[in-house]
Structure formats: C-alpha cells, structure tokens
Chain A
C-alpha cells in the first residue's frame, strides 16, 4: 500500500514530465528522419484524411501533418526558449538593480522605467514592428522583439522579490554576523533567486510561445517556416474548419494544448515546492 501511495504522490508531475519529454523528443527526432525538408509544399497528396501512410493526414498545401506538427512544435519551442531566456535576463538585470540598489535616484529611474514598460500597449506595438520587418525577422528576431518589449511585468516581480529578501530577518542576521554584501548575495540570496528565476523562465516560455502564436495567427511572422501559430494561420486561410479537414488543426492543437498544460503543471509543482515551501 505504501508503494502505491508513493507512486501516486505527485502523479500529475510525473505524467507531465513524461509528456513534455516525449513531445520534445517527437519534435526533435521526427524532422531529422524525414527524407525531405519539412518546410516544402506539395510533397504528398493533398487533403488526405489520416491513414496508415499518413497517420495524421495531409494538408491542403501538400504537407504531412505528422511531420509539420513536429517541425512547428520544434520551432515554437526554440523561439519560446530563446525569447524567455532573453526576457528573463533583461527583467532580472533591471529588476534586481531596481530592487537592490541603495542609490535612490537609480532606483526611482529604474522603477519608473519598469512602470512605463508595463503600461505600453504591448500587442499593438509588437504587431506594428512585426508587420514592418516581417521579411527580415527570423526566429531570433521575433524572439528578441518579444523579449525587448515584454520584460516589464517580470521585472516588476523580480524587483519586489529582491526588496522582500532585503527585509527578511535572515538578512539582518547575516549582516550582524559579519557577512559582506557579496557573501550575502552568493550564500543567502542566490539559491533563492535561482529557483525563482528558473520558474520565471519556464513561465516565460509559455508566455512567449503564446505571443508568437498570437502574432502568427495575425499572419505577421514569416509564414514559410511553420510554428504552431502559422499552422493555425494556414488552416484559417484555407478554410479548413468549414471544409471538414479536422485532422489538419486537431492534431497540432492537441499537441500544443497538452504541451502547455504539462508545462504549467510542472511550474505549479515547482512553485508549491520551492516558493511556498510545501513538503
């Protein structure tokens, strides 16, 4: 009985981890073993429902949904990861200086910079920039724009985390027992902040993938290189919903939803364990 209980503990976390790993492997391996470039059009018959040869059917552009989904998931993941890494880096740099500095002028300026980036309407400006330079923005370009415009909210969080740390009792204990500033940061703050940052990073991946999907649905990213968003764009463009080509949108969407949900379950568990201190 105890065995069963231990197995059932954090069952959702275990399932989610397995799902995420499986999906990442699917998205990495499948494009590697295809005989042709997954970006090419008209390589298989069009509009075929799922069969043994094409397990997820084919699109109106003559692509195998099984391969396109893998490639799109891979691109979305790469973009989300790059964007989230840059976003967290910017947010952490500015947020930690704003929260940690003793210089009140620097603090005031950075705080108000953060506030300003929180109020600019994010999506319209992103759409404007993306629509202006769509031809030249690859995955990295889109990722950097998302990061450059979107760091405000995270930065605000990090700032308040750092400010909260400074007020904690253990800070005073450390200072009174003779810790220098550097030692204080490395010994007491860093373990806490690293946990916090990795959670922010995982959240950032969900956030950035969502933004890229939104942009692609508007049709303003480079549409030849499929991401989950551009797959949705093309299904809209070819009226797949009205023409009954359910396999074209169902499989990519299910994979996408399952991936995001699993990521979110993992994040919730991490938050409960490391931030809220649940055993």
Chain B
C-alpha cells in the first residue's frame, strides 16, 4: 500500500492533457462503449424471439370482431409491421433502435397500442422512483449505522445474536423474503395493502398518499433485506478498518469510543458505502421487477414484466435502456468524484 505513491506516473497521452481531463475522456469513451454493448445484447435477445408483436396487434384487432377482407388484412399487416419497423432487415432495425435510444422515442407500445412506449414509461417512472428512492435511502442510513455500531462492539453477546440473525436472512433470495412478508401481513395479520390505482402522476398530497398506501409494504420488505445487506457490508468494512495499524493504535491508546466511532472507523466505512449507495441509486431506474410483481405495485418493474410476457419489445427495450443508462452513469460519476472523497485515489492512477 505504502509504495503506491512512489510508483512512476503512467505516461500521458502525449499532449498537454491534465490527468483529470485525460481520465475523464478515457472513461467517457469506455462508458459509451459499455452502454452500446449492453444495448446491443438486449436488442439481439429481443429479436431472437420467434413471436411477432405485429401479428398480436392484428389478431387483437380481428378479435374485436372487425370484419376485413383478406387484402385489407394484408394491407393492415404491412402498416403495423411498418409501424414497429419489423418489415426491414435486422441491421436496419438495429440502426433505428440505436436512433431511438438517442432520441428517447421508442416507438408505439404493443400492450397499450398505439400510445408511444415512452409515454407509458414516464407514467410509471415516478411510482418506481418513489418506492425505490425512499427504500434505498432509509435502508442505507439504518444499515450503515447498525453495521458500524456492530463493528465497534463486536464482542458483545447482543451483537453476536444480531449477526447470526442477519447471517440467516442474508443468503435468502429476495422473493422468499417478499413472500414471507405477504404471508405474515396478508395471510396472518389480514392487513389491507391497497389495490392497483391507475398511476397518473401529479405532484399533490393526494397522489403522494396514494403512492404511500401502495408502497409501504413492498418498501418495508426491501428495507428489511437491504438493511441487512448494508449492515453486513459495513460490519465487514469496520472489521477491516479495525485491523489497520493506526486504528489499532488509537484503540490501544484508549481514545473515547465516540471518537473511534466517528473518525477512525466511521470515516473508513462511509467512504466505501457512499459509493455503493450511489451505485444502487443508479440501479433504481430499471424498477424492482420481483418486488413490484409480487406486491402488484404499479411501477416500472410490473410494466417491464408485462411487456416481457406480451412481447412488447419497444416498452421493454425502453425500460432496459433507462436502466443501463442509470447504472453506467452512476458508476461513471462515482469514478470521477471518488478522488475528492478519498485522497488516496488519483486520476489515472493504477492500471
């Protein structure tokens, strides 16, 4: 660790770029490539599907009892195929998909034909953000504090018991926990958890309270599991911090626990957990598929699930695009801000 500062600086790109600008440009290029690859993989997977969304629109129109002559059906098929861009060869579809990502116009939704997919997404987006933002922030604050406190008094009996409780729940897949919540709250306690409300978002008290009445149980299930996640992470970090010589020296010297908590261990843990928080905040734009599906919450996750099972590829790719953008941009921002938080890290340092 100590010799890291002594290593020769990596050779710069030749011209007069400062390390900041240079690493900014390098990272930005990498981010764009990463986003592109993620989008391409997602696009290819949707086109692998043998099902044709245009046929489904047609059969729905015909199912409504509209009588059409065969040539009319043929003309209609061509129009609908054209609307979804499915009549073109694959590479043209791919290019128009990339264009749609740049302009955020993903074409008509199949599930709610002919409303544009983007309108539907923006309708559900506030619900997901409300649920996940509150759940993530609350669980982060509680979890990190609990983890640090556990790390400091790690030999107390109560802490040991708490840790083993956490160990039991931690490896569980989220769905199992969510179903346990449903069993407890709905099956045993018979608590009313609200019905699906058509999500039209206006910034009013009414909407917010409607959101809250739907969101509290799913949020609670996320919070419980995430608190354990954050606490276990912070506990491990606190233990590592305790083993560092300067912290150990401070403990031997007998500094007040308060100071140990704040300056010696708290700081070390917080540095890493702040970045982890930023990463998980970047992850909320994809919606919480499992949560929203199990609790039937009207958000992006439910929309995504419905669009997957009905082959609504435009909506699906739209949500996936937001999700990829959220994650990559968050990690890019962290990389750029990190040297300000942690002076041990430099731009362009290491490999």
Assuming A131-B309, A132-B48, is B286 touching A124 (CB within 8 A)? yes
B338 beta carbon closer than 8 Å to chain A: no
Complex Cα distance A27/B35, Å? 43
Decide: B34 and A115 in contact? CB cutoff 8 A: yes
Complex Cα distance A236/B175, Å? 12
Complex Cα distance A218/B167, Å? 26
CB of B304, distance to nearest CB on chain A (Å): 6
Complex Cα distance A127/B301, Å? 12
Chain B residues with Cβ under 8 A from A256's Cβ? Answer: 176
Decide: A120 and B171 in contact? CB cutoff 8 A: no
Which one, B63-71, B82-90, B269-277, B316-324, is touching chain A?
Answer: B316-324
A43 beta carbon closer than 8 Å to chain B: no
| Proximity bits, B160-182, A CB within 8 Å = 1, else 0 | 00001001101111111001101
Decide: A124 and B320 in contact? CB cutoff 8 A: yes
A46 beta carbon closer than 8 Å to chain B: no
Assuming A112-B33, A163-B351, is B172 touching A268 (CB within 8 A)? no
Decide: B45 and A127 in contact? CB cutoff 8 A: no
| Proximity bits, A231-266, B CB within 8 Å = 1, else 0 | 010001000011000000100010011001101110
Decide: A257 and B324 in contact? CB cutoff 8 A: no
> Which residue of B46, B179, B328, B351 is within 8 Å of A217 (Cβ)?
B179
Complex Cα distance A119/B40, Å? 12
> Which residue of A116, A124, A210 is within 8 Å of B308 (Cβ)?
A124
Query: Which A residue sits closest to B183, measured CB to CB?
Result: A241
Complex Cα distance A229/B286, Å? 23
The residue among B164, B168, B323 with the most chain A CB atoms within 10 A of its own CB is B168
| Proximity bits, A99-130, B CB within 8 Å = 1, else 0 | 00000000000001101100111011101110
Query: Which A residue sits closest to B288, measured CB to CB?
Result: A123
Classify the secondary structure of B's interface with A. helix
CB of A73, distance to nearest CB on chain B (Å): 14
Q: How many B residues are at the interface, by size bracket?
A: 35 or more
Decide: B308 and A217 in contact? CB cutoff 8 A: no
Chain A residues with Cβ under 8 A from B170's Cβ? Answer: 264
A211 beta carbon closer than 8 Å to chain B: yes
Decide: B172 and A257 in contact? CB cutoff 8 A: yes
B289 beta carbon closer than 8 Å to chain A: yes
A96 beta carbon closer than 8 Å to chain B: no
The residue among B38, B49, B293, B294 with the most chain A CB atoms within 10 A of its own CB is B38
Decide: A213 and B175 in contact? CB cutoff 8 A: yes
Decide: B171 and A264 in contact? CB cutoff 8 A: yes
Decide: A124 and B316 in contact? CB cutoff 8 A: yes
B115 beta carbon closer than 8 Å to chain A: no
| A29-68 interface with B by 8 A CB criterion | none
B130 beta carbon closer than 8 Å to chain A: no
Question: How many A residues face the partner with a CB closer than 8 A?
Answer: 40
Chain B residues with Cβ under 8 A from A120's Cβ? Answer: 38, 41-42, 320, 324
Query: Which A residue sits closest to B293, measured CB to CB?
Result: A218
Assuming A217-B294, A241-B182, is B168 touching A119 (CB within 8 A)? no
Decide: B30 and A257 in contact? CB cutoff 8 A: no
Complex Cα distance A218/B308, Å? 12
Decide: A264 and B167 in contact? CB cutoff 8 A: yes
Complex Cα distance A124/B286, Å? 9
Complex Cα distance A217/B178, Å? 11
Decide: B173 and A211 in contact? CB cutoff 8 A: yes
Query: Which A residue sits closest to B309, measured CB to CB?
Result: A131
B61 beta carbon closer than 8 Å to chain A: no
Query: Which A residue sits closest to B327, measured CB to CB?
Result: A119
B341 beta carbon closer than 8 Å to chain A: no
The residue among B34, B37, B170, B304 with the most chain A CB atoms within 10 A of its own CB is B34
B212 beta carbon closer than 8 Å to chain A: no
Query: Which B residue sits closest to A215, measured CB to CB?
Result: B175
| A126-148 interface with B by 8 A CB criterion | 127-129, 131-132
Decide: B41 and A261 in contact? CB cutoff 8 A: no
B245 beta carbon closer than 8 Å to chain A: no
> Which residue of A112, A128, A217, A268 is within 8 Å of B37 (Cβ)?
A112
Chain B residues with Cβ under 8 A from A124's Cβ? Answer: 286, 289, 304, 308, 316, 319-320, 323
Decide: A217 and B175 in contact? CB cutoff 8 A: yes
Assuming A121-B323, A123-B289, A163-B351, is B46 touching A128 (CB within 8 A)? yes
Assuming A112-B30, A112-B34, A121-B324, is B41 touching A129 (CB within 8 A)? no
A206 beta carbon closer than 8 Å to chain B: yes
Knowing that A113-B37, A241-B187 are A-B contacts, what are 8 other residue pairs whose CB atoms are under 8 Å apart, sorted by A's residue number? A116-B41, A124-B320, A125-B45, A128-B46, A132-B51, A242-B187, A261-B171, A265-B167
Residues of A that sit less than 8 Å from B by CB: 12, 112-113, 115-116, 119-121, 123-125, 127-129, 131-132, 163, 206, 209-211, 213-214, 217-218, 229, 232, 236, 241-242, 249, 253, 256-257, 260-261, 263-265, 268
A–B pairs, 20, beta carbons within 8 Å:
A112-B33, A112-B34, A120-B38, A124-B286, A124-B320, A124-B323, A125-B41, A128-B46, A128-B49, A132-B48, A210-B174, A213-B173, A213-B175, A214-B175, A236-B179, A241-B182, A249-B183, A261-B168, A264-B167, A268-B167
Top 7 closest pairs, chain A to chain B, by CB: A210-B173, A116-B37, A241-B187, A264-B171, A260-B171, A261-B168, A121-B323
